[in-house]
Amino acid sequence: MADTLRNFVLTMAMSRPTSFAAFKKLHVISLVASLAILSILYTFWGGGLSSISNSNEHYSSGVPTLSNPFNHDGMHTKAAPADTEEYVAFCVAHRNQVRDIPEFLTHHYHHHGIRRFYIMDDRSSPPLSSFNDWGIPRSAVSFQYYDKNAQYPNMQTHIYSECQRLYGSLHSWIAYIDADEFFETRGGETLPSILREFDKDESVGALGVNWRLHSSANLTTRPESMRQSFTSCPIDPENIPDGEIQGWKDNRLIKSIVKTALFEKPLTPHLFKTVNGTRTVGEHGDVIEYGDGVRQPITRERIGLHHYTVKSREQFEEKTKNWSMKGWEYWDHIEGLPQVQCDEMTKYKP
């Protein structure tokens, strides 16, 4: 509709009025067009969002549609500067779970200025690219599909190598995270502003950011916004030597944002090998040891990665159905840890 309107306005603007009547007609038409544009803007930024706030039904019969369900009551936190040169891109391996994606995109688009998201679609049915409304301009999202004939034993790290191979030359950094992970920065920094600082240090190949896991906060059904709703977090585990960690590594784990010029290969989905002896460092420039991607002591003074690892009971149930890696013992583990209130992400709107 916006396109039709744009073409219409352009056509009108280009046609020369040959008489007074035509001139008058043009004025009336411009007025109507302006009003239409204003009403579209209003729908986008204000009133319109409330009309789709109760959108539990995202799949309408046959036609893939997807609405952005954030009920942000008109409040906006300050938007981050747009990374229009696409200095940093995100590489996200994903299957189905289409409703989780708009909040992820919205968050990083507005609050970190990210303008390039590669959604690496591992056998979704229907393909994720068949959906339209992602909550951010469609032009910022690129899709790549992997069907059953394009499978590798370690699909996630295979996909990460593909992101570097296909898109590495277009960006300075690529962040390798999942759609249930959200960056939080403090002190007026954003992800790109922090990365620009580490760009200057030639010994740095990647930045590793500690997780902040979120538990279900006792929610049984899917809330509209993860950031506004899952405000209960397991406390950080104590420092113990890597070799002595038993079981889940939880918040000790990092995810990586890698300099494309120094990329060598993923070691795990968490930690990458970078060339020439360059290393992955934490937010304070501390070197992260090779291994599973554990960073201790855990700090998130400048940047943290909030991980909605179980979500609500309903969502976890849905996930376990198609996900062999973790079952209910993982739910019990996360929910059983000592918890604290964690409201950090509620500051972000939309």
Binding-site ranges for ligand NAG (CB under 6 A)? 96-97, 217-218, 232, 261-262, 275-276, 318, 321-322
CB neighbour class for 27 (10 Å; exposed up to 12, middle 13-18, buried from 19): exposed
User: What is the smallest separation between the CB atom of 244 and ligand NAG, expressed in angstroms?
Assistant: 30
For ligand NAG, the closer of residues 292 and 318 by Cβ is 318
In contact, 236 and 340? CB cutoff 8 Å: no
User: What is the smallest separation between the CB atom of 276 and ligand NAG, expressed in angstroms?
Assistant: 4
For ligand NAG, the closer of residues 96 and 299 by Cβ is 96
For ligand NAG, the closer of residues 92 and 294 by Cβ is 92
For ligand NAG, the closer of residues 233 and 303 by Cβ is 233
For ligand NAG, the closer of residues 116 and 319 by Cβ is 319
User: What is the smallest separation between the CB atom of 97 and ligand NAG, expressed in angstroms?
Assistant: 6
Give dist(CA 173, CA 197) in Å, integer.
12
User: What is the smallest separation between the CB atom of 180 and ligand NAG, expressed in angstroms?
Assistant: 14
**From residue 47, how far is each of 44, 72, 318 by CA, in Å?**
8, 11, 32
For ligand NAG, the closer of residues 67 and 97 by Cβ is 97
Give dist(CA 277, CA 200) in Å, integer.
16
Pairing of strands 303-308, 181-185: antiparallel
User: What is the smallest separation between the CB atom of 324 and ligand NAG, expressed in angstroms?
Assistant: 12
Is the bond preceding 297 in cis, omega lying within 30 degrees of 0? yes
User: Which residue in the shown chain puts its C-beta closest to ligand NAG?
Assistant: 96
User: What is the smallest separation between the CB atom of 227 and ligand NAG, expressed in angstroms?
Assistant: 15
In contact, 305 and 177? CB cutoff 8 Å: yes
For ligand NAG, the closer of residues 83 and 236 by Cβ is 236
Quick one: residue 311, left, alpha or beta (phi over 0 = left, psi -120 to 50 = alpha)?
left
For ligand NAG, the closer of residues 95 and 302 by Cβ is 95
Give the dihedral of Cα atoms 287, 289, 295, 296; nearest 10 deg.
-90
User: What is the smallest separation between the CB atom of 232 and ligand NAG, expressed in angstroms?
Assistant: 4
User: What is the smallest separation between the CB atom of 220 and ligand NAG, expressed in angstroms?
Assistant: 11
Nearest to 260 by CA among 87, 144, 116, 68: 87
SS (H, E, C) 224-256: CCHHHHCCEEECCCCCCCHHHCCCCCHHHEEEE
User: What is the smallest separation between the CB atom of 231 and ligand NAG, expressed in angstroms?
Assistant: 7
3-class DSSP assignment, residue 84: coil
Residues 6+ apart with CB under 8 A from 188: none
Give dist(CA 149, CA 22) in Å, integer.
61
For ligand NAG, the closer of residues 32 and 170 by Cβ is 170
312 beta partners: none
